[in-house]
Structure 1
Amino acid sequence: MALSGAPKTLAVLESILAPLSLWACLRLRVEQRFVFGLFVGFGMFYWTALSFRYNAYPFLMPLIALLVACCYGGFFYLLLFKQSVLFRVPALWLSSAIHPFGFDWFIPDAFFAYSFFKVDKLSFFLILCALALLADRRLSPLYARIVAGVLFVCALQIPKSSVPLEGIEPISTQINQSDKWSSAELKSNIDANFALIHQAVKKHQKIVILPETAFPIALNKSLLIPPLLQLSEQITIITGALYEEGKTIYNSTYIFDKGQYHYAHKVILAPFGESMPFPDFLANALDRFFFGAEVFKLGHATHFSDFKTTALPLRPLVCYEGTSAKAYKNSPPYLVVVSNNAWFVPSIEPFLQRMLLKYYARRFNKTIVHSANKSPAYILSPTLFGDQIFK
């Protein structure tokens, strides 16, 4: 059942807390900037180390979390290098374009995803200018408040709701990461996937969407294609699975529609988790260290693929690439994102992911359908209100 996903209390809270977080950056003393960045990096991204629970080096988790925190400590050391708001306003405005090691989840603009403010770059600049006026004690308090108030009003957006999408069922599964790749659990997981598809058929849904690697096998090499094609005569099936070609494995999305199937490989690989953002000689050495000498190469596509299914024109995206601005350019009005958040739960990662997805939905005027393992499935509207959560 779909429920409202953007209560007004959340919008009110974000409309207050998001500007306060930027105000703190503008007011922070220069000598505190590294420690401040250290806490920001750890508080927002400590979960990146949790995936090490599932390899041979779980003892590295504290070290990885510390390295991530130090990276953002250095980032804020440069970002807030001078006390002057004339330096910090443009620095903060441009900060969302700076991605250490290709990791682009620090987007200050996205703090306003569920607020009453617009999420375009001009509105973000107006908010920063308003906060700078309030933070600069050299200005007349009355003058600063009046001008800041006008800038805040210019950045506001009249809240709207979108019409709920009918006939679409994104699935939320609850498979532990330790069980996901277990050969002992493979048959039961596959049977559960087919049961979910049959349930969606019984509910007369048009599309059912399963999470990233819902079929944790090279689906194109399996015997599951014929039964999925047969079911696709009754319902469009979108699912995450692997695709094998030679010695290369792809993290892909499969679309089964009216007796035919297509696939789209992941384009943007997650740094460190799926690709090492280093020169080949170093990246290959790290791959061998963490994953062993005999591993398949993880490939990626060179461009995004768009499809026109029976129900929707859409662009499929896999997890991390759904939180990248590159994925939204020249795309259809609907984007389907499949994720496996079992690597990182329990943590704040699913919340940050949803905030970023909502930000891009509003910024690019897209509707995002998200199916996930170990976190809620939802449909995000391009307006402030009107999200749907599926439980």
Structure 2
Amino acid sequence: MNWISKIFKALFWAVIFIAPMYVVWIFERVYSKDPPLWINSVLGLLSVWVFLSVKKELKWAFGFWVGILWFYWIGFSFEYFGFAYLIPLIAVAVACIYMVILALSLWSEDLIYRGVWLLVLSYIHPFGFDWLVVDSFFAYSYFGVEKYEFALIILGILLLKRVEWRIFGVLSLAMALDIASAKTEGVPFDVELIESHYSQDFKWQRENARAMTEELVGRIGEEIGREKSLIILPETAFPFVIEGSAYFERLRELSKKATLVVGSMRRGEGGVYNSIYVFANQKVQIIDKVILAPFGEKIPLPQWIAKYLESVFLGEGGVKILSGNAFGEFEFGGEKIRAVVCYEGTSPKAYELAPKYMVVISNNAWFGSSIESSLQKNLMKYYARKNHTTILHASNGSRSFVIFP
């Protein structure tokens, strides 16, 4: 097999492997709804089969293509810092990191070796970035998402590859089914999830801030007029420090009629916090973002390197994003609701103690029409099912929706 043939064969298998993620993206973009569960049930099984079956001589090319297809969008935000030319370089660098990880996992064609790697891949977090979760391929499927259920799926595919053991493979897959996941529950709140579609360059222009903010305040008034009792706005809906501004007092006044959950910033020592403001009965609770996105909000490198890179990309007068101390919750309708910001909604740490309800606010305009928002949605569905959490997600730049466990 020559090297050109290897590259295209690896691409073919990589496309099949990553297909469950793109199905979520297609249904989100084209149909504005979740994919039918049967599609990713089948494609998820096919992904596991591909991983167990791909020839080891394709391991480097396969790993690279998977890295590109899964994470090509990571550098898109650099466009807004004046470094758009770095986007393809970042995509290749990220793909190379995952190429190494996946090449190691495919080093041997021994099925047990690969099965074990499939189980542990979700624990490998380069630079703290924890989105390589193959288990999440089954988030929108009839199969369960617990680790033991993923192990049963892997075992089932392994046994199906042996003619004499196929009946046991079918039984193993049957044991991994979780038909209850197909049921849709309701939300006991009269909630409105505000969806907006301001581009990131528009949001960052000072001259646009007032018009955008006035529009959002107007939408809050409209939803109060419709007697909504809980109104949730996206991350940095107000892209400035809201405390001390006239809008702060206006929102407090509006909170007489409804509870408002608003994304904005809070000034701290040496920087700002990416925060959630909860306005209820003219009282205000502030919840700061705890888990910052690697490279987007923090640089997970030694301090001397991180400080230098911050000066390069942000400039000497750049604003540093600070990290909060603990996850926060607010009370509404007799329930405690955990409130997190964007990347936190895809972190298992945010789901500690399995909150019954969670508000996630996002600004996905950083990544345009890429697959990023669908990857985020898929991971939130995965953790919602694992922790029996109902997620209320309000977003700018992508669809707002409710995720049921």
TM-score in terms of structure 1 length:
0.93
Partners of 2:225 and 2:91 in 1: CA distance? 46
What's 2:176 paired with? 155
Is residue 2:228 matched to residue 1:205? yes
Partners of 1:6 and 1:320 in 2: CA distance? 20
Partners of 2:335 and 2:176 in 1: CA distance? 33
Mean alpha-carbon deviation: is it higher for 251-260 or for 296-305? Answer: 296-305
Is residue 2:262 matched to residue 1:236? no
What displacement does 1:247 show?
2.5
Is residue 2:268 matched to residue 1:249? no
Name which structure has the greater RCO, CA cutoff 8 Å, separation 6+: 1
SS of 1:221's equivalent in the other structure is: coil
Can you list the C-alpha shifts for 1:272-302, whole angstroms capped at 9, x where unaligned? 0111010100010111111111223211112
What displacement does 1:255 show?
0.4
Counterpart contact for 1:243–1:249, Cα < 8 Å: yes
| Alpha carbons of structure 1 residues 302 and 166: separation in structure 2 relative to 1, 3 Å | closer
Can you list the C-alpha shifts for 1:47-78, whole angstroms capped at 9, x where unaligned? 11211111121111110111011111011011
What displacement does 1:163 show?
2.4
Counterpart contact for 2:354–2:388, Cα < 8 Å: no
Correspondence 1:186-201 to 2 at 5 A: 186-201=209-224
Superposed structure 1 runs of 4+ greater than 6 Å apart:
none
Partner of residue 374 from structure 1, selected from 377, 383, 397:
397
Partners of 1:265 and 1:86 in 2: CA distance? 44
Counterpart contact for 1:340–1:374, Cα < 8 Å: yes
Mean alpha-carbon deviation: is it higher for 367-376 or for 23-32? Answer: 23-32
SS of 1:339's equivalent in the other structure is: strand
Amino acid in the other structure paired with 2:250: P
What's 1:82 paired with? 108
What displacement does 1:332 show?
2.9
Mean alpha-carbon deviation: is it higher for 10-19 or for 328-337? Answer: 328-337
Partners of 1:373 and 1:229 in 2: CA distance? 23
Partners of 1:4 and 1:290 in 2: CA distance? 35
Is residue 2:58 matched to residue 1:32? yes
What's 1:65 paired with? 91
What displacement does 1:4 show?
9.3
What's 1:343 paired with? 366
| Alpha carbons of structure 1 residues 307 and 164: separation in structure 2 relative to 1, 3 Å | closer
Partners of 1:184 and 1:225 in 2: CA distance? 19
What's 1:221 paired with? 244
What's 2:13 paired with? none
TM-score in terms of structure 2 length:
0.89
Q: Which runs of 5+ in 1 are unaligned?
A: 383-391
Amino acid in the other structure paired with 2:258: I
What displacement does 1:165 show?
4.3
Aligned residues between the structures: 373
SS of 1:172's equivalent in the other structure is: coil
What displacement does 1:32 show?
1.0
Partners of 2:129 and 2:274 in 1: CA distance? 19
Amino acid in the other structure paired with 1:124: F
Counterpart contact for 1:257–1:309, Cα < 8 Å: no
Amino acid in the other structure paired with 1:196: R
What's 1:314 paired with? 337
SS of 2:167's equivalent in the other structure is: helix
Q: Which runs of 5+ in 2 are unaligned?
A: 1-30
Counterpart contact for 1:236–1:310, Cα < 8 Å: no
Partners of 2:34 and 2:183 in 1: CA distance? 11
| Alpha carbons of structure 1 residues 169 and 312: separation in structure 2 relative to 1, 3 Å | farther
What's 1:99 paired with? 125
The two structures, once aligned, show a CA RMSD in angstroms of 1.5
Can you list the C-alpha shifts for 1:123-172, whole angstroms capped at 9, x where unaligned? 0000001111233xxx3x1x322011000100011232212444111111
SS of 2:215's equivalent in the other structure is: helix
Counterpart contact for 2:189–2:230, Cα < 8 Å: no
Can you list the C-alpha shifts for 1:314-359, whole angstroms capped at 9, x where unaligned? 1111000110001001253111000000010111111111111111
